[in-house]
Amino acid sequence: MAPDPLAAETPAQRPSPRYFTWEEVAQRSGREKERWLVIDRKVYNISEFTRRHPGGSRVISHYAGQDATDPFVAFHINKGLVRKYMNSLLIGELSPEQPSFEPTKNKELTDEFRELRATVERMGLMKANHVFFLLYLLHILLMDVAAWLTLWVFGTSLVPFLLCAVLLSAVQAQAGWLQHDFGHLSVFSTSTWNHLLHHFVIGHLKGAPASWWNHMHFQHHAKPNCFRKDPDINMHPFFFALGKILSVELGKQKKKYMPYNHQHKYFFLIGPPALLPLYFQWYIFYFVVQRKKWVDLAWMVTFYIRIFLTYVPLLGLKGFLGLFFMVRFLESNWFVWVTQMNHIPMHIDHDHNKDWVSTQLQATCNVHKSAFNDWFSGHLNFQIEHHLFPTMPRHNYHKVAPLVQSLCAKHGIEYQSKPLLSAFADIVHSLKESGQLWLDAYLHQ
């Protein structure tokens, strides 16, 4: 192996590092110019790298012009390896007189959260129990088999048909929570195994592309409830007026794409029932073809071949299509209520470059722990802990929750946890409130 020329350099021969101020970094945040970000006081030029970023171009771009130390630590399980690839992007560091992060961020809170993360790692809470995830996968596969056996043993009359649809809906919902674990790299210590099982669960068991999930979901985690950065709130403003601030803003601008003052009513029509069967089911194929994600498409095709060959002989083509879209309808209701209960009632606004803890806590809330709530939501009832530690295995959320609550109490941050049905109701209440705020601003401003 050839000697490293940099290793042979003396300190006097090495070029002096370039120093930058936060003002200079903040100016490199747009699409039409260079994009820089800061990690551990080092300044990186990500302008060309964004298109090659494994997590997607948008998620890293959302931190352009900002400090990205905490999200970098939160999202990567092998930070040493990633840092080697980052060396080519390094252009300098913050000037010695510059603080480690911007004045919009709470220094004391950030420092204490980083201490908390170190404590969590020492406690072993970032390590997964593989038996837990194996049993979870097995219970999904058993329900999948039970759904088919229901029709094979009891026939295709109405009651077995409906029971089969309910079981398959549970399979799809629970596989959705499990692929979420693999997608967040929270099961295995290496990315390779997480990615492989992610493809299997989301592709073969659900018929969806892993690349699409990565593209959408990591943005949500990077900037939750931040307009134009979190794709989960892209239904604002064309379908719903979300959040107090954005709704008033929309009203003042005299914009009306929908009768928002009735959105808490039409949510029941175009929200839970329609998202999967009328949108996601078709958009995912457009996504993989447009982006040429042929590996994802191959995994997806195995799902449709398997389900076609197992159910058409029992139900015929029309019966199979009826079953398939009933399952997507039931799954869609399950998915939307669970995923929106933690976010829609919370603070929604433009990105104001807050610190990691404040960004996550203002956009998330929890639902009380119980055996049913944990299973029904895939442990996403611990949304606060999941957002603070996205690579933490879900079975450890309840263990870190008391530590997070103590941190929040010390800094006067509201830590919300509520009953499951109250969380569902809060979605509707928040839509009604924001719709009324829009109407008041629209009529009187």
DSSP 126: T
Question: What is the pLDDT, as a whole number, of residue 422?
Answer: 98
Question: What is the pLDDT, as a whole number, of residue 33?
Answer: 77
Most confident by average pLDDT, 5-14, 29-38, 235-244: 235-244
Give pLDDT tens digits for 46-79: 999 998 898 888 999 999 999 999 999 999 999 8
Q: What stretch(es) of the chain map to CATH 3.10.120.10?
A: 19-104
Average pLDDT over residues 301-322: 97
If phi > 0 it is left, if psi is from -120 to 50 it is alpha, else beta; for residue 124 that is left
Question: What is the pLDDT, as a whole number, of residue 22?
Answer: 96
How far is residue 19's CA from residue 91's CA, in Å, rounded to a whole number? 9
Give pLDDT tens digits for 97-154: 999 989 999 999 999 999 999 999 999 999 999 999 999 999 999 999 999 999 999 9
Q: Give one DSSP letter per residue of 383-445, joined into a string.
A: HHHHHHSTTS-GGGHHHHHHHHHHHHHHTT----EE-HHHHHHHHHHHHHHHHHHHHHHHHH-
Q: Which fold has domain 19-104?
A: Flavocytochrome B2; Chain A, domain 1 (3.10.120)
Helix ranges (DSSP H) in 278-419: 281-290, 294-340, 356-361, 371-377, 383-388, 397-410
**Two tokens, residue 236:** 């604002």
pLDDT band at 80 (very low <50, low <70, confident <90, very high): confident
Give the torsion sign (CA, 211, 174, 220, 84): negative
Whether the per-residue pLDDT at 337 is higher than 50: the answer is: yes
Whether the per-residue pLDDT at 6 is higher than 90: the answer is: no
Q: Which residues pair with 19 in a beta bridge?
A: 93
